[in-house]
Amino acid sequence: MKRYLVPLLLILTARATAQDARSWKYHKEIRIVTTPAGAHIKGDVRNYPLAVKLNARNFDFTTAKGNGADIRFSQSGNTFLPHSIEWWDPVHREALVWVKVPLIKGNNDVQNITLHWGNDQAPDENRPHEVFAAADGFVGVWHLNEPGNTLPEGYKDATANAADATGVNMVPTSLVPGVLGKAQQFDYHSKQWIKVDSDKRKLFDLTNRLTFSIWAKARSYSNKGDAAKRVLEGYETMFAKGDNSWRLQKFGVRGWHKPPADLIEICVERLDPKGDLCVVGKTDMVTGQWFLLTGVHDHPYVRLYVNGVLDATELFDSKWKTDDHPVGIGNQSQFPEKGGRYWDGWLDEARVLQVAKDEHWIKLDYESQREGQRLLEFGKTQQQ
């Protein structure tokens, strides 16, 4: 049987979604648990893009349209919430849908959303631009769920900015299972990476207020350096806008640190005198394991979060700057060939927001997206 996949972005004009939920044959409650028994989120989070993972255990794909076009989500009454289907695979019974929830209350276990489906007449209402809205601070969101490619702007941005990215040396088999649907696999020796180098890169000239994140798993740390070329060993980049702007990267080799560890750093650039201001984390980023890495600029503070928990922070009370370099996913875009900072491993769900998100949002990102999440509890299917 041919595998039918519907990822990505079907861009529709935003419109009101007050409809009669009775026209949908099936529904089920999804309880959102933020108490310590669930995700343990202490504070409220508003206008949140919630990852809803569907599989054979919690959803009967045979009762929905083949492309998921009839699914809807509501929280009260007949008003449907904006949603975006990133991945829909009825053959393997897997799907990932992002739902914009107006309010997720902290330390609460009596809140829910309702999933509706089973309406052959329902049109597709995939609305990524509302889920990842500019009004909420989103500047770029790359799900990285396309077959690996080098087509111009072949990696799509889910926001209305359409800051689509271009693969470098990526191949169709770069597409692999990820934390959230699909991800991209990068090979260090093949010099594979993804870049936003169009005029849209100016959108990411952000400095004082910024949140950026990416899921990363290393296969190896392969940068051995090159003294003749003044290339430092041990630096590999997950997500950055050059070496004089915001960046997340591995910091040196294990032996530099006591005890030995593969550590991450986040850096900003000082305006005068020019120089790097870096915060080095404490988490050992071992190979073969997924980590959610989040950087926050909230001038004068710089914060690094690992798996939703504050890992390190510093106060840099000086003026910061940014430079006009491409956004790089899996490499340092300022000197992509010379630097040797290619990533060797897997990357998923790269995001940039032009606001400084708080600890509750960042922890909710991790707790809602990770494998084995305890945030969502699916109820039984009900029929109208």
First-to-last alpha carbon distance for the chain, in angstroms, is 31
Residues with Cβ within 8 Å of residue 280, at least 6 apart in sequence: 251, 263, 264, 265, 312
Mean pLDDT by 10 residues, the chain (384 residues): 39 48 93 98 99 98 97 89 97 98 98 97 96 98 98 98 98 98 97 97 97 99 85 92 94 93 96 94 98 98 99 97 95 84 98 99 99 98 93
Is-contact 14 135, C-beta < 8 A?
no
CA distance 358 to 308: 11
Nearest residue to 172 (alpha-carbon basis) of 139, 146, 203, 200? 146
Nearest residue to 285 (alpha-carbon basis) of 313, 266, 298? 266
| The model scores a pTM over 0.85 | yes
Segments in the chain forming alpha helices (H): 128-131, 359-369
CA distance 194 to 184: 10
* Domains of the chain, each with CATH number or no CATH: 21-128+372-383 (2.60.40), 138-354 (2.60.120.200)
Cis check for the bond before 273: say yes or no (omega within 30 of 0): yes
pLDDT for the residue numbered 62 = 97
pLDDT for the residue numbered 13 = 33
The total number of residues shown for the chain amounts to 384
Q: Model confidence over 160-187: pLDDT tens digits? A: 999 999 999 999 999 999 999 999 999 9
pLDDT for the residue numbered 20 = 76
Encoded tokens for 284 = 């050992």
